[in-house]
Amino acid sequence: MPFSITPALIDEHGLTPEEYQKILSLLGREPSLEELGVFSVMWSEHCSYKNSRLELRKFPTTGEKVLVKAGEENAGVIDVGDGWAVCFKIESHNHPSAIEPFQGAATGVGGIIRDIFTMGARPAFLLDSLRFGTVEGDSLQAKTNRRLLAGVTSGISHYGNCIGVPTIGGEIYFDPSYNGNPLVNVFCLGTLRHEQIARGAAKGVGNPVFYVGAETGRDGLAGAAFASRELTEESKADRPAVQVGDPFREKLLLEACLELLASGCVAGIQDMGAAGLTCSTCETASRGGTGVEIDLELVPKRAADLTPYEILLSESQERMLVIVHEGQEAPVKKIFEKWELPYALIGRVTDDGMMRVRSGEKTVVEIPARALADDAPLYAREAASWKAPAPLDLTTVPVADIQSTLLLLLAHPTIASKQWVWRQYDYMVQTSTVVPPGSDAAVFYLREANKFLAATSDCNAIYCALDPKEGAKAAVAEAARNLTCSGAVPIGVTDNLNFGNPHKPESFYQLRAAVEGISEGCRAFDVPVTGGNVSLYNESQQASIDPTPTVAMVGLIEKREDITTQYFKEPGDVIFLLGHLGDEMGGSHYLLVSEAKKEGLPPRVDFDHEKKINAQLLSLIRMGLVRSAHDCSEGGLAVTLAESCFNKSEEAPLLGATISLGKRALRADIALFNETSARITFSTPAAKAEEVEKILNSSNLPFSRLGLVTKNPELVIELNEATYSWNTQTLHHSWATALPHIMKES
């Protein structure tokens, strides 16, 4: 019976009737089953960004330090001086982690590491930005979320620890909107010399095409298409869409690829990530303005009965496509054999612009490479008009007990210590982590380049749910503030845009507004977007996630002496607040904890003011006047002060602070727990306090001299003739034990 394409088969491949008509027009004939599969994955949202690419063009992507801009290659590259550069990117593995948390997270780490060393960079460190549903309580949902948290954490730690790349920071949020659809966003940064930048282009007609790495199996089949649809019980049953990783094989592949690139034998190199062999083949051909012809019978396989369709669409991990200069086959094979990696010469670069795939004598795919990689349909989806939430009427919000509220905020899983998670990560491997997880930003020493980098990831999705543009602006502002508090100047951003179904006008509006908010922020701070990831269809059968445009930002620290952490250092140091005391309660964690509400307008962001605050603090740091600095974010000033009392060393005694806010025309809960932006607390030696105050007075920036660091482990805050006090050991216990206690309930 002859094969035929049916409407049901087209729909099964995630293609619309209109897209199928475009395929017929491009080919001038009906596609084969293999070609239909190829179009399915390459024209999926995960690979083509067909619903988001028009919006992504709004990002600023150029700058004098940009060596490889967003969209040109697997990851962007930024100059850091003295002939050195850094390459970094963030990617998601959300849907696979919802199905199989350990392997979903582990292969997410493996994939982002490959994106970095494909560029010729040696991976230096990882960050992860994670979101889970409610984990407290005995409900089935809470138990499921705890299982997801445990599995994802184990997967990240397993892969990173085994391959020897430290996970040095990140963030974890918990919210009911992520029930059934966790977010696993993983960032990697690598370092390289300018001349080591590698390209993913198939250049040089006649050049041999090598496959190297793990044998191809059935794991990960149609993973790109799987990531481009909503999570349902039916899609969750699609277990083959979850890949299985082998970090030890990837370590061999990493070293082999870096040695290959140093040998001068490589004309182009591409990771087999989403869409596997299909994507790597057509993308390298498209970038090179050439064609590629391969024979699937030559591909190393785990099973002899794999079909051409399965080989093309498999997303088995730890595989690379390498285009070698003709005549250099022998030294390339020698390197592969040295590292004990399976490999095969599977094809050649051609001059006809075609992606041609044979299975022995039979041609199963013959498609113009550019049509696959660059000519996917682009959509400008309908965007709903935004309805601003009503301003918060605080007269309807009862004043919660101040004493107990601070303890509750510190115990909230989003604010509480994440040590239970990051203790599982070997964040000190390579011995270059200067500031480990736990402070505003992680700091890493690039020993070979003699550079200090700070890195952070940020996004308050509650803000984004209430006002997507303002929430995205707040994510950029907080990331920049975290870097400033560490002594760094921002140099670049990579983002992971996590949203729901773009066909729904409300979801598409959220995406558009968030892109515009990030773009505004990056232009204000003069930092380019070096690339990133769009993850749509983050909807379970319960609901869509809160819009989560995660921003990962990297900064450069001039000298070791400028490295600053959030922890108070010495009793007697003077504590300052740089910025307004604030009064914005919309979207605050205070409302979440005391009233279980997400209401009001989130804090407004004024980038000019943000930049002045950051510049002033950085100036004080470089003058040697700052001992600690901590930005005010979730939970407000009281949480910030409490966290500053917690020493990073478990052996060091906890400190305290005496704070006087004087008389304020504010309710105590508003003064202590509001989340107004552009606020930083910092401490300075008592002998330098007058000098600092003089500088701040001349700056015309708002500031307050709050009080003193104390040896006595007690946080005391005086406000409006009332005094509130907490033993810092009690505060620390609430903060430090919350997540371990929750996870013991599993």
- In CATH, what class is 62-197+437-563? alpha beta
Q: What is the pLDDT of residues 679-705, one digit of tens each?
A: 999 999 999 999 999 999 999 999 999
CATH for 383-416+564-746 is: 3.90.650.10
* Burial classification of residue 2, based on how many CB atoms lie within 10 Å of its CB (0-12 exposed, 13-18 middle, 19 or more buried): exposed
- The catalytic residue positions are 46, 93
Q: What six digits make up the tokens of 472?
A: 């995205």
> Which residue ranges make up each domain of the chain?
62-197+437-563, 198-376, 383-416+564-746
Distance (Å, whole) CA 134 – CA 374: 40
The DSSP secondary structure of 329-398, one letter per residue, reads: HHHHHHHHHHTT--EEEEEEEESS-EEEEEETTEEEEEEEHHHHHT---------PPP-PPPPP-GGGSP
Domain 198-376, CATH homologous superfamily name and number:
PurM-like C-terminal domain (3.90.650.10)
Query: Residues 262-313: pLDDT tens digits?
Result: 999 999 999 987 778 888 888 888 888 899 999 999 999 998 899 999 999 9
- What's the mean pLDDT in 78-88? 97
Q: What is the DSSP letter of 188?
A: E
Residues 209-233 have pLDDT tens digits of 999 999 998 876 754 444 444 555 5
582-599 residue pLDDT tens? 999 999 999 999 988 999
CA distance 104 to 108: 6
- Are 191 and 84 contacting, i.e. CB atoms less than 8 angstroms apart? yes
Per-residue pLDDT at 432 exceeds 60: yes
For position 685, what pLDDT does the model report?
98
pLDDT over 50 at 660, yes or no: yes
Which of these, 530, 427, 442, lies nearest to 488 by C-alpha position?
A: 442
Calpha distance 371→244 (Å, rounded): 30
**Integer angstrom CA distances of residue 122 from 284, 329, 630:** 21, 24, 31
Given this chain, do its domains 62-197+437-563 and 383-416+564-746 carry the same CATH topology?
A: no
Residue type, position 271, single letter = D
Q: Kindly report the length of the chain.
A: 746
Q: What angle do CA 39, 33, 234 make, to 5 degrees?
A: 75
- Torsion on CA atoms 262, 426, 155, 198, rounded to nearest 10: -20
Q: Any idea which residue has 């620390």 for tokens?
A: 732
Q: How far is CA 723 from the centre of its chain?
A: 41
β-bridge mates for residue 645, sequence order: none
pLDDT in tens, 667-684: 999 999 999 999 999 999
